[in-house]
């Protein structure tokens, strides 16, 4: 067998290993996709509960401030009451105070119902938070594991790519580029045996002229149909790995 052919077979072998590892690595994050969806779901629930809670907190603050202001108004009116001279003014002022008090009582009722909603929202928020924390812990733990495994894949892929460069350095750069293109387009098989006058890649018959040239084993030839690089393999011999 030609030396170049041997190198190309080695090259195909390391490129296949790298490809397989790359594919395995791509599948790792899929293992945590269910956990990731659960995390996303709980995060969304938490954010919704938080938004609801914040809105109620804002309403509560506004209502408390209104009540406070109206109370001050009543206190100021009461103080003013002492200095009033006429009965008419006096009763008018009393009536005003009474009106303010009454509307404040209504506000206080509103505040009470708001407070109960606020407390419910606060409770819901803390429940959503606990649910989110629980899944976050598990998700982080798994992600640490996933990243470690992906890292070890990267390390192995790096070693294989170094090996690939070593093999490729023994071959002409143009041939390596062509080989890589075929590898990419022909499902990871760029060099293949020609046996019984046919290409074992695409199973097309090879012309007797080309088959003769292949048997000479003095230069590289490609399959006219699938463009894969061919090497001659005697019919009797059963190819390893076929």
Return the H-helix or E-strand segment holding 199.
strand 198-199
Report the C-alpha gap between 221 and 242 in whole angstroms.
Answer: 21
Q: Is the CB of residue 229 less than 8 Å from the CB of residue 180?
A: no
Return the H-helix or E-strand segment holding 192.
strand 191-195
CA-based nearest residue to 200, from 176, 166, 174, 232: 232
Return the H-helix or E-strand segment holding 222.
strand 221-222
CB of 167 to Zn ion, least distance (A): 23
Q: Which residues bind Zn ion (CB under 5 A)?
A: 199, 201-202, 223, 225-226
Report the C-alpha gap between 157 and 223 in whole angstroms.
Answer: 30
CB of 215 to Zn ion, least distance (A): 17
Q: Which is nearer to Zn ion, 124 or 221 (CB)?
A: 221
Q: Which is nearer to Zn ion, 150 or 202 (CB)?
A: 202
Q: Which is nearer to Zn ion, 121 or 206 (CB)?
A: 206
Q: Which is nearer to Zn ion, 42 or 195 (CB)?
A: 195
CA-based nearest residue to 14, from 214, 169, 230: 169
CA within 13 Å, CB half, 13:
10
Place of tokens 């690089």: 229
Q: Which is nearer to Zn ion, 97 or 210 (CB)?
A: 210
CB of 195 to Zn ion, least distance (A): 12
Using left for φ > 0, alpha for ψ between -120 and 50, and beta otherwise, residue 188 falls in left
- Alpha helix positions (H), the chain: 3-31, 33-81, 87-168, 173-185, 208-216
CB of 221 to Zn ion, least distance (A): 11
Return the H-helix or E-strand segment holding 232.
strand 229-232
CB of 223 to Zn ion, least distance (A): 3
Q: Which is nearer to Zn ion, 199 or 220 (CB)?
A: 199
Q: Which is nearer to Zn ion, 53 or 231 (CB)?
A: 231
CB of 214 to Zn ion, least distance (A): 12
CB of 35 to Zn ion, least distance (A): 45
């Amino acid at each position: 067998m030609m030396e170049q052919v041997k190198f190309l077979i080695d090259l195909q072998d390391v490129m296949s290993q790298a490809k397989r590892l790359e594919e395995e690595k791509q599948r790792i994050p899929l293992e945590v996709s269910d956990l990731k969806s659960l995390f996303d779901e709980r995060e969304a629930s938490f954010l919704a509960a938080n938004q609801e809670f914040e809105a109620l907190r804002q309403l509560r603050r506004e209502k408390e401030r209104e009540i406070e202001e109206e109370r001050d108004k009543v206190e100021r009116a009461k103080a003013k009451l002492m200095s009033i001279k006429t009965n008419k003014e006096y009763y008018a002022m009393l009536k005003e105070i009474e009106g303010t008090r009454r509307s404040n009582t209504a506000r206080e009722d509103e505040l009470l119902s708001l407070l109960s909603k606020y407390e419910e929202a606060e409770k819901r928020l803390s429940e959503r938070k606990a649910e989110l924390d629980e899944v976050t812990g598990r998700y982080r733990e798994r992600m640490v594991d996933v990243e470690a495994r992906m890292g070890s894949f990267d390390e192995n892929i790096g070693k294989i790519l170094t090996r690939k460069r070593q093999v490729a350095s023994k071959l002409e750069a143009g041939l390596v580029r062509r080989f890589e293109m075929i590898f990419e387009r022909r499902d990871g098989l760029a060099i293949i045996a020609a046996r019984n006058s046919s290409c074992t890649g695409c199973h097309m018959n090879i012309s007797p002229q080309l088959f003769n040239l292949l048997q000479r084993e003095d230069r590289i030839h490609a399959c006219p149909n699938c463009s894969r690089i061919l090497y001659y393999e005697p019919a009797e011999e059963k190819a390893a790995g076929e």
